[in-house]
Amino acid sequence: MREFLLKLAAARGEIEADLLIKNVRLVNVISGEIHQANVAIYDGRFLGYGDYDAQRTINAEGLFMAPGFIDGHIHFESTMLTLPEFSRALIRRGTTAAVIDPHEITNVFGMDGIRYVLHSINEIPLDVFVMLPSCVPATPLETSGSTITHRELDYMIKEERVVGIGEMMNFPAVINGEEETHKRILSAKWKKIDGHAPGITGKALNAYIFSNIDSDHESTSAEEAKEKLRKGMHVLIREGTSERNLEELISVVTRDNSWHFSFATDDKHPDDLLEEGHLDHSIRKAISLGMEPMMAYQLATINPANHFNLKNVGAVKPRYWADFVLLSDMETVAIESVYKKGIAFFEGGNLKSVPVFTPPTIRSAMDPEDIELDQLAVPAESKQIRVIDLIPGQIITNEHITDPKIENGFAVSDIERDILKIVVIERHKATGRIGKAFVRGFGLKKGAIGSTVAHDSHNIVIVGTDDKEIYSVFEKLRKMKGGLVAMANKKVVAELPLPIGGLLSDTSFEKTAENLKTVKSRVKELGCTHEAPFMILSFLSLSPIPKLKVTDLGLIDVEKFEVTSLFVD
């Protein structure tokens, strides 16, 4: 109580503030206006506006002051960074809080993965709010490293930094009333439940929302977003590395409905964070496409804070944490400095160091069965084959039926038509399961690329021009205990080790970003035409996303929610 009374006295102006930021143009996301203000800070919190005596005064000379940005949905593992490095990557871009769904590391490590996250977030300046992974595994159509039931969710939901249950990816189970799935939903109690409803419409969407799910980040068309909005969903506008939906969805946002929208990145690679940015990019792009600047800042601050019931963040308001960004230009999001709890973590182009700590020990996560080269072969069963057809800028795919290239009775990669073999090899339980399919849209002319980042169960996924190249990538990934690899002529062209669960790098943000940039460049030299080859590769095993995907169980028809035949009779 004594500490609170001191803060109250400081708010009344009877005790010196720690810091006074004078002459700012305040981006007031609550009132929707920009106004002149002097803003006082004490013990890491905003005291309010006014002329306060302070131990230190900064004259902002007309800079804009905006609240720190909040990512409404991101899988931090997609950045390939440990949480301290994730924190460094986001804070420099004005993001001071993120709602994460540690779905990936939990699919690999189970409860140990969640504990790893909760331990880490207490040691970093970024505010991290956790949505407990609801679908581990994501669906019954793949093999994950662990299983999370409603019992584990019941146990973890009371954690202070846990703000709800993560995206319900198994939408057929939700819609059809599967008992265990709905027990997981009930685990949320009074907290939020994230949605995942790609292309779900009509009565099926009604049933999904009726299950108490009220947000979604999977809209890829304006009409899809509009239907979800009309039915009461909070729409998260996704702008990530390979999933870029902002330009399509922005037309749905109006002054009357904007509070039902927030920005999210979902999955963002480290090189994109370094070069393109994070939510600063989303704000900048939205404004360039015609969105009112104030509205864009609201989507990045107060809207996600209100939706997820985040305490004391999202606005420059008395009592809220003093998390803010000083900008020389509001429309281009020209960041001069970033403050977290009243401390400058980014200033003058320099990032303050993040505290170093020792994360908990994580067991090995690479245990594939030995396989032989001939196990990768696909005997030709008919004259027609289903091919996974990539859609630029999306993680959804189409189905393309065509005649396969056949050699000696086996269907093989067809470089001329850009139809390449893709395999998923189970890596958690040494089952020896291999899913095999074909994909169009990579453009590889030689070699193969592979990864242990393969949503959502994170088995080994490899696409290549022939079986020998694919097999060489498998052997290299196993030897290096996980990561990204590009090979040609059975020699390593480039690699990025991810020794933490086959998901995360143990190096700095900058080094990881640079290594990934190099790997992408080398893959481009192999003929790949995709801008984010490893990101899109990782999504080709994502069984809840239409239309065709491949897991260790085989080719998946997501709309029918079943394993389907590679060949067409």
Mean pLDDT of 155-171: 93
CA distances from 536 to 49, 446, 549 (A): 47, 18, 11
SS3 per residue for 15-33: CCEEEEEEEEEEEECCCCE
CB atoms within 10 A of CB 9: 12
The answer to whether residue 358 scores a pLDDT higher than 60 is no
Sequence-separated (6 or more) residues with CB below 8 Å from residue 53:
13, 16, 17, 20
Distance CA 410, CA 337 (A): 59
Extract long-range pairs of 369-374: CB within 8 Å, 24+ residues apart.
Answer: 369/426, 369/430, 369/431, 369/432, 371/425, 371/432, 371/434, 371/471, 371/474, 373/467, 373/468, 373/471
Each residue of 437-459: pLDDT tens digit?
999 999 999 999 999 999 889 99
Q: Which amino acid, one-letter code, is at 352? A: K
Each residue of 303-318: pLDDT tens digit?
999 999 999 999 999 9
The answer to whether residue 356 scores a pLDDT higher than 70 is no
Distance CA 364, CA 440 (A): 33
Instruction: With cut-offs at 50, 70 and 90, classify the pLDDT of residue 367.
Output: confident
Each residue of 51-93: pLDDT tens digit?
999 999 999 999 999 999 999 999 999 999 999 999 999 999 9
Pick the range with the lowest mean pLDDT from 10-19, 37-46, 363-372. Answer: 363-372
Domain coordinates in residue numbering, the chain: 74-308, 373-568
pLDDT score at 366 = 86
pLDDT score at 372 = 93
CB atoms within 10 A of CB 298: 25
Distance CA 20, CA 380 (A): 73
> What are phi and psi for residue 84, nearest 5 degrees?
-60, -40
CB of 544 closer than 8 Å to CB of 208: no
Mean pLDDT of 132-160: 91
Percent of the chain at pLDDT > 70 equals 98
Mean pLDDT of 214-243: 95
pTM for the complete prediction? Answer: 0.92
Beta strands in 441-527 (DSSP E): 448-451, 460-464, 483-488, 491-497
Q: Kindly report the CA angle at 420 between 419 and 422, in degrees rounded to 5? A: 135
At the topology level, CATH places domain 74-308 in TIM Barrel (3.20.20)
User: Considering the chain, what is the average pLDDT of its residues?
Assistant: 93
